[in-house]
């Protein structure tokens, strides 16, 4: 690297990306859509109050800035949160996974602690931007479906997040996949949400009831060794996801859909079934088929997207 390039690189603004998920919280410094070494991570369950959460965040940010000797180049913080945000995007109204952050003045408090502007967004928006930012060429209409502890869906149309219409705190109606009388009730108040079938939380309930090791990777292992119950469950979950993807396509007409999250990571065989079987459903229903793919470098989507949006704010 010559002198001029190294000077430009040294002056490029950096952003902190924070991804608060249902299972993990990740913090990193992001430069030009890349996560710098030393990403900090904690289980979400490690905290039970906002003050514990803020102390850990401040320590993590300070450690990362010291590691890279870059405090003066960090210009913003972006934070993705699991739940429903208020309209000015300053507080979390409701969150099943981090209830101790509900109602807290998150952007003001973190901004005061760090002396940096803070942009809040949902975890779905952060992951969607993270998945979209690295695509080349960029599709006009893009959807990210995220199978983590819960299920999130984000849409970018013409380089902007498209707000998805939901009623109150219910899950998206287009992600209701079971309308039969036996549809499972969902914590959101609806019945038959994809959340009750394909979220990490729902799958762990099923795994526990069946007596397998309590993690989603057990479903992958069972599938690979040819276990009949695992193969049947895989087919059922994949079929529900394809049903949801069909509804998403009717409503949002995406050119491209990326699939990410912990369930996709630990149970790749199930996503392979989705990718393999979706085309038949689309052909049968005479729906235009979007490109569907697994999200590359998916673990980092949330922090990259959060940092990226904070720099645009």
C-alpha 262 chain-centroid distance: 9
Residue 244 or 252: the one with the smaller Cβ distance to Zn ion is 244
Q: Please report whether residue 172 would count as binding Zn ion according to CB under 5 A.
A: no
Catalogue the E-assigned strands of 219-284: 256-260
Q: Which helix (H) or strand (E) holds 107?
A: helix 106-114
- Does residue 195 belong to the site contacting Zn ion (CB under 5 A)? yes
Q: Which of residues 186 and 216 has its CB atom nearest to Zn ion in the complex? A: 186
In the complex, the smallest distance separating the C-beta of residue 226 from Zn ion, rounded to whole angstroms, is: 33
* Residue 194: φ, ψ to 5°: -55, -30
Stretch that binds Zn ion, among 187-195, 209-217, 255-263, 300-308 (CB under 5 A): 187-195
Taking residue 202's Cβ as centre, other Cβ atoms within 10 Å add up to 21
- DSSP β-ladder status, 141-147 and 256-260: parallel
CB 294 within 8 Å of CB 260: yes
How many angstroms separate the CA atoms of 202 and 195, rounded? Answer: 7
Q: Which is nearer to Zn ion, 123 or 299 (CB)?
A: 123
Task: State yes or no: residue 207 binds Zn ion (CB under 5 A).
Answer: no
Which one, 34 or 167, has the nearer CB to Zn ion? 167
203 part of the interface to Zn ion, by CB under 5 A: no
* Separation between Cα atoms, residue 37 and residue 286, nearest integer Å: 47
CB atoms within 10 A of CB 209: 8
Distance CA 96, CA 307 (A): 24
Distance, CA of 3 to chain centre: 39
Count residues contacting Zn ion (CB under 5 A)? 6
* Binding of residue 186 to Zn ion (CB under 5 A): yes
Please report how close the Cβ of residue 278 comes to Zn ion at its closest, in angstroms: 22
Q: Which residue from 92, 120, 177, 190 is in contact with Zn ion, where contact means CB under 5 A?
A: 190
Tell me the pairing of strands 24-31 and 34-35: antiparallel
- Report the residue number, 146 or 171, with the smaller CB distance to Zn ion: 171
Taking contact as CB under 5 A, which single stretch among the options 78-86, 136-144, 169-177, 227-235 is the one that binds Zn ion?
Answer: 169-177
34 bridge partner residues? 31
Closest approach, Cβ 171 to Zn ion, in A, equals 3
- Nearest CB to Zn ion, comparing residues 141 and 173: 173
Q: Confirm or reject binding of residue 201 to Zn ion (CB under 5 A).
A: no
- Interface residue with Zn ion among 171, 201, 265, 266 (CB under 5 A) is 171
- Interface ranges with Zn ion (CB under 5 A): 171, 186, 188, 190, 193, 195
């Amino acid at each position: 690297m010559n002198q001029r390039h190294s000077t430009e690189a040294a002056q490029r603004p950096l952003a902190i990306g924070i991804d608060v998920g249902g299972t993990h919280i990740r913090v990193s410094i992001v430069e030009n859509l890349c996560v710098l070494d030393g990403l900090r991570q904690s289980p979400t369950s490690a905290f039970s109050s906002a003050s514990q959460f803020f102390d850990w965040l401040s320590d993590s940010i300070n450690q990362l800035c010291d590691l890279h000797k870059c405090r003066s180049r960090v210009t913003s913080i972006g934070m993705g949160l699991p739940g429903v945000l208020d309209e000015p995007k300053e507080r979390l109204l409701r969150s099943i996974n981090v209830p101790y952050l509900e109602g807290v003045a998150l952007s003001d408090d973190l901004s005061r602690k760090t002396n940096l502007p803070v942009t809040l967004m949902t975890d779905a928006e952060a992951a969607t931007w993270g998945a979209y930012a690295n695509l080349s060429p960029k599709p006009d209409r893009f959807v990210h479906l995220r199978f983590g502890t819960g299920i999130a869906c984000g849409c970018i149309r013409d380089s902007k997040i498209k707000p998805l219409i939901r009623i109150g705190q219910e899950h998206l109606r287009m992600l209701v996949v079971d309308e039969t009388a036996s549809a499972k009730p969902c914590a959101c108040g609806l019945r038959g949400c994809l959340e009750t079938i394909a979220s990490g939380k729902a799958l762990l309930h099923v795994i526990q009831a069946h007596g397998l090791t309590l993690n989603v990777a057990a479903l992958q292992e069972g599938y690979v060794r040819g276990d009949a119950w695992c193969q049947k469950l895989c087919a059922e979950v994949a079929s529900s996801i394809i049903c949801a993807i069909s509804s998403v396509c009717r409503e949002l007409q995406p050119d491209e859909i990326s699939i990410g999250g912990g369930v996709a990571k630990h149970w790749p065989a199930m996503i392979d079934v989705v990718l393999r079987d979706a085309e038949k459903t689309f052909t049968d229903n005479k729906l235009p088929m979007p490109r569907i793919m697994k999200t590359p470098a998916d673990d980092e989507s949330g922090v990259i997207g959060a940092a990226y949006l904070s720099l645009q704010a």
